[in-house]
A and B are shown apart, each in its own frame.
Chain A
Amino acid sequence: MKILVCISNVPDTTTKITFTDDNSHLNNAGVQFILNPYDEIALARAIELTEAENGTVTVIHVGDASTDPTLRKALAIGATDAVRINAQPSDAYFVASQIAAFAKDKGFDMILTGRESIDYNGAKVAAMLGELLDIPSVSITKKITIEGSTGILEREIEGGKEVLVIPFPFVAGTAEGVADWKIPNMRGIMGARTKPLVVVEAVEVNNLTKIIQFETPAPRTSVQLVDAGEVDKLIDLLHNTAKVI
């Protein structure tokens, strides 16, 4: 079994987000970049599924050389090899098109992404890949098991779940529950240095969207405390001032 896992390189959750160039770009100074947490779940599940049948897990990422440590981390966790498409990931369609161009003739049984990246939170790449490769896609997957060359996937729906049976190949965006996070061990970290990391040049793709500016949301006005003995006052505030009940 051959699995491709798409990973992105994102600012750590605890990072303070600021912008430069007239609020048009993320200010990278002092930002700690990490492997996107949802992509780590995808990678963990891919490793579990291939361990059982001696398969391979390739990780792919669209970015410049500064993101190589994130790919090495994925190799340390247990990916077989890594591919970096050498380009700035300018929008979801650009990224999905690059990955589809690489994957289309490689015979992957399954392509996994995180359900979303924690930077742009778009949740778009999985379904775009499915459409570009003309194969089924499940965007928010809670569980993946395999029977022969068929996947049994649980998808999150409002107020429940849906169970799907999908023949290989397919794309799935993984959410919490698919696998537990894996922490690389010393052997993995040492081995990651010598595993293959191939750099591929990008294909030409036009963006469909462009972020022209960022703003930080207005901070909430400081909290208005209500005495624990006067909960009626809270109800009054929620009804008459905030008008939410």
Chain B
Amino acid sequence: MADFTLIAEPPLKGVDHNFGDTRLYAPDDLAIVSIALPLGAEDATLQAVKSGFGADLPAPGQSVMGNDDTRLVRLGPDQAFAIFTRATPDAEPHVQSLLKGAAYTTDQTDVWTGLMLDGPLARTALERICPIDLHPDAFAEGAAARTVMEHLGVLIIRTGPDAFLLLSASSSAGSFLHAVETSLVNVT
């Protein structure tokens, strides 16, 4: 019998386009793990996050960088994402080993697709499709928001003055790429 080897591949793997000085690309080996704070044990979880990642879980709508370039995003009172780079398919056990059972963790790597938008046109392109106010005064570096762009749910995180990480459902990755690309073409 033939011996098959399956290779996990993100839906937008290899996407890398330049629009003037602005670059739109799919980050390699993006890993996402959700962290749910158990009801009544929130304080213990926050403590575990601090010792596991070396950073306090921020307020909802904010993100911070922890150890090993792990970005901790607080999505709501009892939910957070850990976003990091990992080539091996063991993101969830990795996070669970850091938290030592203090939170419910679920691997989200394959259900989301990531796009990085970096450059002077980033905000101009996004303001056409993103209902969130992206002015630095309202959406500073580290700010994160779940919202909707072109009817697709998106988690947007400002990772730099002109850099945004956009996460959307992998099942509609092609449509999402099309939406962002179209907006970029329209402002280039």
Partners in one complex: no
Chain A residues close to B by CB (< 8 Å)? none
